[in-house]
Structure 1
Amino acid sequence: MDEEAKKEKVNEITDALEAVIDPELGIDIVNLGLIYGIDIEDTKCTVTMTLTTMGCPLSDMINNDIHQAVESVDGIDSCDINLVWYPIWDMSKMSRFAKIALGIHG
């Protein structure tokens, strides 16, 4: 897959991940700024992400939602989740949409 095709596939995966809603905040994980990276190798995708707090477990529900979203993209057969804690997530990583939806001004 050339770089242009890879970039397009990353955009498709990002769009699919916008359907994955954080159950506590009710906002998708992309707009919350939880997705740090998407890497594609052949038909396998690795999503590097974090959670809003260290004590927040990656529930089976959100884990399954991520797998379903990523694997729904044509050409992607499997998905690994690389959960990281650095850089630490904070509200500055949220999109303008997420901040407005949560009533945060700034």
Structure 2
Amino acid sequence: MSAEDEVVSLKRDVIAALVPSGQRVELPEGTEARITQALGGSFTVIIQGHMFRIEGSDADCLGKDPPALPEVNEDASDEDVQKAIYEQMGTVYDPEIPVDIVELGLIYRCELSRREDNQVDVAIDMTLTAPGCGMGDFLVNDVRSKVQALPVVGDVTVNLVFDPPWRQDMMSESAQLAVGFF
């Protein structure tokens, strides 16, 4: 049995996000959960017919290891920092779609600004596949926290924008193949 479709018993209490609303729910230790998606370090689980997203930083509650960060420091070039940022954003998945937000074409802008202390402030514009997506705030916060986890990164601003509206043709070819558009 792969990590996906594996049934586990929660090893401790954990705060998870109910999908698709994004509502935070405490799941108690001992609860049986079926892992349906393990992408980007986070986990989508089914518990009693409800879908939840568990952060990678809480992987231990499922008996899993937390994800490793890309190696980048304040001596890295802006190009290397940008690459690490996109690598981190590429670990953010919509719990219902097995494609990361970069491949989905949801990142519209990512600008870096180097400070005097050599830390890098980051400004990101992103969108959602649907403006009414209940997971929008959750995905924005996931982007912010994953980018901010890089040691070279200072402040992170993530703006949720809807202009231009997202379209399916903004997805990479591999993303379109993954969701069956070809």
Highest Rg: 1 or 2? 2
Counterparts of 2:172 and 2:146, CA distance in 1: 20
Check if 1:29 corresponds to 2:101. Answer: yes
SS of 1:69's equivalent in the other structure is helix
Shift of the alpha carbon at 1:83? Answer: 1.3
Aligned partner of 2:173 in structure 1 is 96
1:26-65 to 2 correspondence within 5 Å?
26-42=98-114, 43-57=120-134, 58-60=136-138, 62-65=139-142
Structure 1 unaligned residues grouped into runs of 5+: none
- What SS is found at the alignment partner of 2:77? helix
Letter in 2 for 1:18: G
Distance 1:24 1:54 in 2: 15
Shift of 1:63: 2.7
What residue is the counterpart of 2:90 in the other structure?
A: 18
Per-residue Cα deviation, 1:14-72 (whole angstroms, up to 9, x for no partner)? 11111000123231100000001101123211111111111124133x23321222112
Higher helix share: 1
Maintained 8 Å contact 2:98/2:178: no
Q: Identity over the aligned pairs, expressed in percent?
A: 32
Aligned position for 2:32: none
| TM-score with structure 2 setting the length | 0.51
RMSD: 1.7
The answer to which structure, 1 or 2, has the higher relative contact order (CA under 8 A, 6+ apart) is 1
**Displacement, 1:89?**
0.7
Unaligned runs of 5+ in 2: 1-75, 115-119
Structure 1's consecutive aligned runs of 4 or more residues displaced over 3 angstroms after TM superposition are none
